[in-house]
Chain A
Amino acid sequence: MSYEEFVATALQMALSGADASQSDLLNMEMTAESLVSNVFRTVTLTICADPDKRSLLRRSHTIALTSGVGTLPTTVLMETLPGAVVLDPDDATITADDMSFVSEYQDFVTAKGFESRLGYWHVDANTTTGNTISYIRPSDTVPTKTGNITLITVTVPTIPATSSTTLDAPQEFINLALAQLANALRMKEAA
């Protein structure tokens, strides 16, 4: 399903039960498109909250680090990080169990003082350059790595670049997103 087909289907669903010749929902393409970002985010969090469905949207992200700090992709939501996994492709001995996500910055900088055998990672929100990820290897005491890490987490599907581009998302996500967008257009639920 292309992006335009997705929006058109949601619009038609929103018209369900209405008189199409008199409905305010005609010509709502711009409104629908403006709601897509929030709809995708909401549906992603709904799926993330269901352990049976989480794997539908789990994706791997290669993040380039400079001195232990890199930029998080914009499709990764802060709410999904507690269940995320960080792997180091340059060191196969580091497993997911060796790495721990620390949400609070104060805890992150003092974590090595409590358990020095583990590695830690932390995310800071940065509205200017995008959220940043800081990574301390089990063998380090502070962020030092320059190279790549792999972040595996539930990810928001990308909004296509053009109207004819196919949505890169599983059908379950698309179905939920269609219903969410249609309801948002009818203003039955906040997007």
Chain B
Amino acid sequence: MGVPYSDIVRNVAVRINALTNATKPAELEAAYTISPLTAADVQESAVFSYTGICDAILQAEQKLAQTIAETKDHAWRAKLISQTDVLASGDTLPSTDENGLSIIGVYGSVFDATDGTGLSEQPEEVIRRRLRTTAIWKIPVYHYSFFGDSIIHTRTNVRIEVCIWDYLNQQAAIQANDDMLLPDVLEEAVICGAITMLVRDDEWLAQGSQYATYFTDALAAIRSNEPVPQRKAA
């Protein structure tokens, strides 16, 4: 069961006093529980609009996605996973996945494009030896090496597991009130990250700074492949 983006929007909106018609306690609960929220429900703030809040949420999600993608073997890469087009030995490493979306972070596993068997990394010298003397070898091997901007390998074609995050796709996801892309446990991190960015001139600086500390801690935990800390009560 995922967390819809509308939940994140209302969490951010209530903290910056942006919910429409929520000046009295009795109105607050009603305004807060509207689902899904629309632009008309987030018009109380004269500083940040509904779209501005959505953009801040996307930027926070983007940072978290980038950090996850840069952490090799992180379990949450599964939420961002895609694969490249088939690559022959010597092909340049792509910057987009098989659907043309930008790759973020580090490359993941390399696997045979035909039978799905994973390849293991070997020194380029071993692979070069294999490729230059193919006639004498009978036992199939599944080896690869990243050589400069290219990949060399001992199979016919391979694919690489990669992470992607596309701004336009995620923008559409928020507008459609889809479930958040990242794991549910990162909802708090996304909220804090969004609020961190909702500062203008000298307004909200203190609040932004408070949330920034937690967001930074969350990013550091992801990089270390450790559990994301929960925000302590003020």
Contact = CB atoms under 8 A, between A and B. Distances in A.
B139 A3 contact: yes
Contacts of B21: none
A138 to B, nearest CB: 43
B138 A27 contact: no
Interface in A2-43: 3-4, 7, 26-27, 29-30, 32-33
Q: Is the interface of B mostly helix, strand, loop or mixed?
A: loop
Given A27-B143, A30-B130, A3 B138 contact: yes
Contact of B140 (A27, A159, A161, A163): A163
B139 A33 contact: yes
Contacts of A32: 139
B129 interface: yes
Contacts of A163: 138-140
Contacts of A30: 126, 129-130, 137, 139, 141
A160 interface: yes
Contacts, number: 30
A141 B70 CA distance: 83
Contacts of B126: 30
B82 to A, nearest CB: 27
Interface string B123-158: 000100110000001111101000000000000000
A29 B138 contact: no
A162 interface: yes
A94 B166 CA distance: 86
A29 B126 CA distance: 11
Interface of B: 120, 122, 126, 129-130, 137-141, 143
27 contacts: A3-B138, A3-B139, A4-B138, A4-B139, A4-B140, A7-B139, A26-B120, A27-B120, A27-B122, A27-B141, A27-B143, A29-B141, A30-B126, A30-B129, A30-B130, A30-B137, A30-B139, A30-B141, A32-B139, A33-B137, A33-B138, A33-B139, A159-B138, A161-B138, A162-B138, A163-B138, A163-B139
